[in-house]
A and B are shown apart, each in its own frame.
Chain A
């Protein structure tokens, strides 16, 4: 059961900018735990895309950026390319009564039109 909510899908034409929201609560994102993002290309394992809210690992294009505010976070993809078509997941840490551990978002499928 995901505690972080994402839109099921977003789409855009090549070159456009799309954003994916990730909504949590006071026990995870709102508790100042960092948000991280993963990209999962079809048929492959997830890959770390953004860590610590807005940091890109080596090799990730600067077209990808992250932000966080309050109980939500966002991933932005600018200059959308065909190879960006994938599923994207946010992830944080949750510490509440009866639950303590990592949590993932529901996932968002990005389609390049």
Chain B
């Protein structure tokens, strides 16, 4: 069974840092790009970042560019989101989502994790 399991979300103060993790199982991890998507309380989905299957290509939404870094460890079947300079508006459920292709362009997200909650507040 294809599964994604996120972890690492917690309460953090404004300006703080946090690293989210997503462990994948049930598919050949390095064959697929991976994404992070977030959803603020009561709001819609917002794509955050993507990384190619080999890890050599990354892309970010303008709202997080320069503050968040996506990476992956293929032998560990894990994708990470390192978040720094956190703001109240980063408060959201963060979902890890598998892309349908190796290189993230014109694709879709066919498997989603259950999400991990990040709250940025003093």
Contact = CB atoms under 8 A, between A and B. Distances in A.
B59 A100 contact: yes
A45 interface: yes
A39 B95 CA distance: 14
A98 interface: yes
Q: Is the interface of A mostly helix, strand, loop or mixed?
A: strand
B108 A105 contact: no
A46 B112 contact: yes
A84 interface: no
A68 interface: no
B109 A48 contact: yes
B110 A51 contact: yes
A85 interface: no
A2 B60 contact: no
A102 B35 contact: yes
B55 to A, nearest CB: 17
Contacts of A107: 44-45
Contact of B95 (A33, A45, A87, A99): A45
Contacts of B107: 93
A99 B60 CA distance: 9
A2 B47 CA distance: 10
B45 A46 contact: yes
Which of A89, A102, A103, A107 has its CB near the most chain B CB atoms (within 10 A)? Answer: A102
Given A103-B47, A107-B45, 4 more contacts: A2-B46, A99-B62, A104-B47, A105-B44
Interface of A: 1-2, 33-34, 36, 38, 40, 44-48, 51-52, 57, 87, 89, 91, 93, 98-107
Interface of B: 35, 37, 44-47, 50, 59-63, 95, 97, 100, 104-115
21 contacts: A1-B63, A2-B46, A44-B114, A45-B95, A45-B113, A46-B45, A46-B95, A46-B112, A48-B111, A57-B110, A89-B44, A89-B45, A91-B108, A98-B62, A99-B62, A101-B59, A101-B60, A102-B35, A102-B109, A105-B44, A107-B44
